[in-house]
Amino acid sequence: EWNMEDVLQEQIKHVRSMVGPDEHVICGLSGGVDSTVAAMLVHKAIGDRLHCLFVDNGLLRYQERERVMSSFRNELHLPVTCIDASENFLGKLKGVKDPERKRKIIGEEFIRVFEGFAPKVGEEVGRNPSFLVQGTLYPDVIESCPPPGSGRNHSHTIKSHHNVGGLPERMNLKLIEPLKLLFKDEVRQLGKFLNVPESFLKRHPFPGPGLAVRVLGDVTEGNALNILREVDEIFIQAIKDAGLYDSIWQAFAVFLPVRTVGVQGDQRTHANAVVLRAITSEDGMTADWYYFDHKFLIDVVSKICNQVRGVNRVCQDITSKPPATVEWE
């Protein structure tokens, strides 16, 4: 196990050696552990020459933008610019069904937003930032671009996570990836060491492409995103109320683009099915499904069907990784 003090000092040194004394850096924050810890580290290395932004890509969870922006302000005391690019993202995703295409489009769109942000910062500070901080972790590196000699090559790439393989090859910003050699639990330790509040460190991982990989198929179809947000919020809130949040690695809902027949009141309905998935894991590379008690499931399913219009069937995913992956896409 590594000593976090050493990791921190080494990475600070590395960042300072990459970024010249007058150069500026931008960092996209998601509100999650990785980008927050990466930003705090780079901030320690170069101070106010770091400029953070939060992108609303239209694929965020229930009230996430408001919640995250207020946490940055009140808990992290980090100045963050919020950019609403939801129309750009959703416009580009219209009609797109293939998961890898979705990731690629989202990765590219993120970069366009970052590249648009850099000159805005430049106007203020007199010099355009030329670096971008990414909170890439070791598992992202091995799953997206297996290291040489690992016996895996690109054709066996599992998923092009947007913050690694999904980035466009041509990008005007140089990458700084200070967490590239760390696993999630090490990032959490490092964050603790950097005084990142628990509320950030304990948040479940959330994929860069957001709800786009949790609405199967075309994310812009009908009211899918909003239905998913409501279901997800009920599920997560129930998990928090039951005191289970910290025992679970990730919990979320998935929207299925299929309609099933149901009966609600005296009415026959033809509405969507959703899936609940909760897992435990050490590093996201393998995972076990989480066993909820009967009463918890009964309550959560009844809340979902009573409160969310458009859903008449709730399934639970009881597949581990492998053979399944964590996400459905």
Buried b (16+ CB within 10 A) or exposed e, 186-210: bbbbbbebbebeeebbebbebbbbb
Least distance (Å) between residue 161 CB and ligand XMP:
4
How many other β-carbons are positioned within 10 Å of the β-carbon of residue 327?
A: 16
220 is in an annotated binding site: no
SS3 call for 62: coil
Sole window of 18-26, 54-62, 112-120, 200-208 interacting with ligand XMP (rule: CB under 6 A): 200-208
Q: Does 233 bind ligand XMP (CB under 6 A)?
A: no
DSSP tag of 75: I
247 is in an annotated binding site: no
Sole window of 7-15, 19-27, 253-261, 321-329 interacting with ligand XMP (rule: CB under 6 A): 321-329
Site size for ligand XMP, by CB under 6 A?
Answer: 16
Least distance (Å) between residue 282 CB and ligand XMP:
12
Q: Does 209 bind ligand XMP (CB under 6 A)?
A: yes
Sole window of 123-131, 192-200, 203-211, 255-263 interacting with ligand XMP (rule: CB under 6 A): 203-211
Phi-psi region for residue 195, left (φ > 0), alpha (ψ -120 to 50) or beta? left
Q: Does 277 bind ligand XMP (CB under 6 A)?
A: no
121 is in an annotated binding site: no
**x-or-dash pattern for ligand XMP, window 280-319, by CB under 6 A?**
----x-----------------------------------
285 Cβ contact list (under 8 Å, min separation 6): 139, 142, 143, 321
Alpha-carbon gap, residue 145 to 156, rounded angstroms: 9
With beta carbons less than 8 A apart as the criterion, state whether 38 and 178 touch.
yes
Least distance (Å) between residue 277 CB and ligand XMP:
10
Of residues 8 and 252, the one with the C-beta less far from ligand XMP: 252
How many other β-carbons are positioned within 10 Å of the β-carbon of residue 309?
A: 12
Q: How far is CA 190 from CA 23, 58, 178, 194, in A?
A: 25, 30, 11, 6
Q: Does 99 bind ligand XMP (CB under 6 A)?
A: no
Sole window of 68-76, 149-157, 191-199, 205-213 interacting with ligand XMP (rule: CB under 6 A): 205-213
Least distance (Å) between residue 194 CB and ligand XMP:
21
**x-or-dash pattern for ligand XMP, window 143-162, by CB under 6 A?**
----------------x-xx
Alpha-carbon gap, residue 101 to 104, rounded angstroms: 5
Least distance (Å) between residue 246 CB and ligand XMP:
16
33 is in an annotated binding site: yes
156 Cβ contact list (under 8 Å, min separation 6): 146
Task: Name the residue among 3, 46, 44, 54 with its Cα closest to residue 25.
Answer: 46
Of residues 161 and 313, the one with the C-beta less far from ligand XMP: 161
185 is in an annotated binding site: no
With beta carbons less than 8 A apart as the criterion, state whether 62 and 229 touch.
yes
H helices of the chain, in order, are: 4-18, 33-46, 64-71, 86-93, 99-125, 138-144, 184-193, 198-201, 224-241, 294-307
Q: Does 208 bind ligand XMP (CB under 6 A)?
A: yes
217 is in an annotated binding site: no
Provide the annotated binding site for ATP.
30-36
Provide the annotated binding site.
30-36
Q: Interface with ligand XMP by CB under 6 A: which residues? A: 103, 159, 161-163, 205, 207-209, 213, 250, 284, 321, 325-327
